[in-house]
Amino acid sequence: MANTSMQIVSPTTLWAVRVRSVLGGLRRAPKIPSLVLLVFMIFAAFGQWIAPYSPVAVDMAASFSPPVWHEEGSADHLLGTDKLGRDILSRLIRGARVSLSLSLFVIGLGGGVGVVLGLISGYSGGKVDAVMQRGIEVILAMPTILVALVFVFAVGRSFESVILILSPFLAARFARIVRGETLSVRERDFVAIAKVIGTPTWMILLKHILPNVFNTIIVLATLEVGHLILLESSLSFLGVGVPPPQPAWGLMVADGREFLTSAYWITLFPGLCILAAVLSLNLFGDWLRDTLDPRRRQL
Amino acid sequence: MANRLLEVEGLAKHFRGGGNWLSSGGDSIRAVDGVSFSVEEGETFALVGESGCGKTTVAKMILLLERPTRGAISFQGKDVSSFRGGSLREYKRLVQAVFQDPYSSLNPRMQVLDIIGEPLRVHQGMRGRDLRMRVGELLENVGLNPVTASFFPHQFSGGQRQRIAIARALALRPRLIVLDEPVSGLDVSIRAQILNLLVDLQRELGLSYLLISHDLAIVEHMSHRVGVMYVGKMVELATRDEFYGNTLHPYSNALLASVPQPDPDVPMGTTIGGEVASPINPPSGCRFHTRCPIYLETNMCREVEPEWREILSEHLTACHKVEPAVV
C-alpha cells in the first residue's frame, strides 16, 4: 500500500463505463423499428399539428374515396376516406395517441402493480405466495372481454374505464411470470449472501432480484403492447372500447370490416399501423434486453 | 485455550419432506441431528464429510439462513437466537460468508464497486469517495487492481471472482467467516492461491474460519481443528495433528484412506463400500454400522447409539470400539 491514490477508485471511470455502454448500445439500436416508433411517438405527441384534417370532420360528399394511387383517388385524401368521408391519414395520425397511450397506461399501471406483486409473492413464498397465486388464478380464469363488457356498461364507456378494466388482467399476467423468475433468482447465492450481510428485504428485491428479472419484464411488456392494441380493437368492435368518434386504430379496423371487399383501405392502413407498431416494439424490446444485460455488452 | 468465539450445542435441523397444506408430507429428513463444536478466536475449524452429511446445513444455521429445529448457537457467549435489532445487526456484521460457486455468489448486474460496497452501504451508510477508497483498499487486499471496481462479474475468471467474494466478506472487518467449500468450484491450478490468500488474511486480521470441505488435503493445509460428520452427526473431533496422526473413528480412517497419494508406489488405500445412509431413515444404533469395516455382529453397534466421549485430551469420538485412554 505504497501509493494511497492508487486505492481510490475513480468515479469518472465508473461513470465512463456506464455511459460508454449506453452509447455503444444506442449505436446498435435496430434502425427501422426505432424509426417507426419515433414516427408514431411524434404522431402521438404532435398529431393535431401534423394531421391535414380533423379526425372527426365528416364530409359525406367525399365518403369512400380511395387512396391517391387509385384512378378515382385524389390528392386531397392521400389514404382515402371512410364511410363518413373522414380522412384516413388524419385519423391514423391522431389515433396513434389513443392506441399508444392506452397501451402505455395499462402497461404502466397494470404491469407496475403486477411486477411488485410478483416480486413479493415469489420472494416471500409460503402462505403469502399461495394466497396471492390463488387470487391471480381467479383473475386469469375470467374471460377478459366478458368482464370488460359488464364493467364498461356499469361505469360508462370512456378511455379511463378501458384502462381500469384491462390493468388487472395485465397485472395478473405480469405477477405470474415475475413470480416464477423471482423463485429462481432468490435461490442464487448472491441473495443468500445479501441476507447474511443483513441487507434489508426491500433492498434485496430492488437491487438483486428486480435487475435480474428485468429481461423478462421488458420482453413481456413489448409483447403485451401488441396484445393490448388488439384487445382495444376487440373491445371497440363490441362497442365498449374507446368511445367514437375518437380515432383509435382498433376502432378503425372494426369500422372498416363491413366494407372490406369494396373499400379495403379503411381496414388495411390501421391494420398495417398495428402490425408495424407491434413488430417494432418486439424488435426494440429484444435490443433493449440485450443492452441492459452486462454480459451481452461489448465494452 | 483461546477465547471461544462461536459455540454450537446439540444443533439439529429436520426438514419436513414434500408436504404442503393439503398433504402432511412424508417423513422428516434429519439433515443435522445433534452437532456440537466450537470455533476459537483466530482458528480455523474444519467440518468435513461426504456430500449430504449436513455440513452445509450447519453453516446455513450459523448464518441464520435456516432456523434450527433444536439446539443452540452462541456467539461471544451470547445466544444467537436471542439477538434482535442492534445485536442482530452486529452479529450480521461480525459473521460473513464465502460460498462455493463464485458464479452464483456475485450479482451479474452489479459493478464490483456495488458488490463489495453493499455491506459497507448497509451497515455504515458509506458512500461517495469514502466508499470508493475502502473498496479500492479491499481489492488491493485480495490482490486485485482497484481499477477493476468498474467491471462487472463476467469480466473476471473464477479465481478472481472468488477474490471479490472474499473482499466483500472482509469489508466489515468480521470476526468469523464461514467458508463453504471455498475452492471446490475453482480450477486446481488456482486453488492454492486462494487458500494462501485466506491463510494470509487470517494471520493479518486475526480472523476465525469455519471451513466446510470434503477435501482432506485442503483441510490439512488450513485448519487447526477438524470435525467429521456422518449423516447429520459428528463422529470425530480432534486437533489437526491428532486427526491426521491418530485417527480413532473407522469412518475418519476410511475418509483419510480414500485420499489419493501423489506417489504411484503407494497403493491406493482401502475405500469403504456402500452408499451414504439416508438421513430420512437413518440406521439404528451407530449410523455408520451399515458400512463399518470393524463392525462386528454384536447388537451393540446396531442397537445402541454410541456415546460422544472424550477419548484423549481434546479428541472426541462416537464409537463403541474405541476405549477412552483418559478418565
Three-state DSSP string of B168-190:
HHHCCCCCEEEEECCCCCCCHHH
Closest CA of chain A from B116, distance in Å: 11
pLDDT at B20: 58
Say if residue B155's pLDDT is above 80.
Answer: yes
Report pLDDT digits (tens) over B296-323. Answer: 666 777 778 888 888 887 888 888 877 7
**Quick one: average pLDDT of B207-221?**
90
Cα angle: B216, vertex B220, B226; to 5 degrees: 80
pLDDT of residue A196: 93
Contact flag A17-B150 (C-beta cutoff 8 Å): yes
CB contact under 8 A, A198 and B147: no
Q: Is B75 on the interface with A (CB under 8 A)?
A: no
Q: What is the pLDDT of residue B319?
A: 83
CA A194: distance to chain centroid? 33
Closest approach of A189 to chain B, Cα-based (Å): 4
pLDDT of residue A70: 80
pLDDT recorded at residue B299: 75
Amino acid at A45: A
Say if residues A274 and A230 touch (Cβ distance below 8 Å): yes
A275: contact with B, CB 8 A cutoff = no
pLDDT at A3: 45
Is residue B272 pLDDT above 60, yes or no?
Answer: yes
Residue B238 vs residues A263, B161, B201, B227, B234: alpha-carbon distances, Å: 92, 33, 24, 7, 11
Neighbours of B14 (CB within 10 A): 17
| Contact with chain A for residue B106, Cβ under 8 A | yes
Question: Is there a contact between B137 and A1 if contact means CB atoms under 8 Å apart?
Answer: yes
What residues contact residue B158 under an 8 Å CB cut-off, 6+ apart?
B102, B103, B185, B186, B187, B190
Q: What is the pLDDT along chain A (299 residues), one digit of tens a residue?
A: 444 444 566 767 777 777 776 777 777 778 888 899 899 989 888 888 888 888 888 888 877 888 878 887 777 788 888 888 888 888 889 888 888 888 889 999 999 999 999 999 999 988 999 999 999 999 999 998 889 889 888 988 888 888 999 999 999 999 999 999 999 999 999 999 999 999 999 999 999 999 999 888 988 888 788 788 878 878 877 778 777 777 888 888 888 888 888 888 888 998 899 889 888 888 888 887 777 776 665 44
Contact B36, B9 (CB under 8 A): yes
Q: Among residues A250, A90, A55, which one has the least CA distance to residue A166?
A: A250
Which B residues, 238 through 297, put their C-beta within 8 Å of a C-beta on chain A? none
Contacts of residue B137 in chain A, CB cutoff 8 Å? 1, 7
CB-nearest to A196 from B92, B146, B152 is: B92
Give the residue, A297 or B253, on which the prediction is more confident: B253
Instruction: Give the Cα separation of A253 and A270 in Å (integer).
Output: 6
Strand, helix or coil at B254? Answer: helix
Cα separation, B74 vs B84, in Å, equals 14
A199 contacts on B by Cβ (under 8 Å): 118, 122
Q: State how beta strands B4-16 and B70-75 pair.
A: antiparallel
What is the ipTM for the molecules in this complex? Answer: 0.87
What is the per-residue pLDDT across B88-102, written as a single tens digit (0 to 9) for each?
A: 999 999 999 999 998
- Cβ pair B132:A10 closer than 8 A: yes
Q: Which residues of chain A have a CB within 8 Å of the CB of B99? A: 189, 192-193
The beta-carbon neighbor of A7 closest among B106, B133, B172 is: B133
What's the pLDDT band for B294 if we cut at 50, 70, 90?
Answer: confident
- Per-residue confidence (pLDDT) for residue B270, from 0 to 100: 64
With beta carbons less than 8 A apart as the criterion, state whether A209 and A185 touch. yes
DSSP string, B261-283: PS-TTSPPPPPP-S-PPPSSSPP
0.90 exceeded by pTM: no
In one-letter notation, the amino acid at residue B41 is: E
* Residue A195: predicted pLDDT: 93
Mutation target to probe the A interface, by most A beta carbons within 10 A, among B57, B99, B107 is B107
Q: How far separated are the first and last CA of chain A, in Å rounded?
A: 30
Q: Please indicate whether, in this complex, the C-beta atoms of A208 and B96 are within 8 angstroms of each other.
A: no
Of B203, B225, B228, nearest to B214 by C-alpha is B228
Could A16 and B109 be called an inter-chain contact, meaning their C-beta atoms sit closer than 8 Å?
Answer: no
What are the tens digits of pLDDT across the range B37-72?
999 998 999 999 888 788 889 999 999 998 898 889
Ranges A191-195, A233-237, B8-12, B137-141: which has the least confidence? A233-237
Query: Is the Cβ pair A9, B122 closer than 8 Å?
Result: no
pLDDT digits (tens, 9 = 90+) for B157-208: 989 999 999 999 999 999 999 999 998 888 888 888 899 999 999 999 999 9
Which cell is B169 given?
Answer: 466478506
In whole angstroms, give the CA distance from residue B130 to residue B14: 44
pLDDT band at B19 (very low <50, low <70, confident <90, very high): low
| Strand arrangement, sheet containing B315-317 | B95-98, B176-180, B208-213, B44-48, B225-230, B233-239, B315-317, B309-312
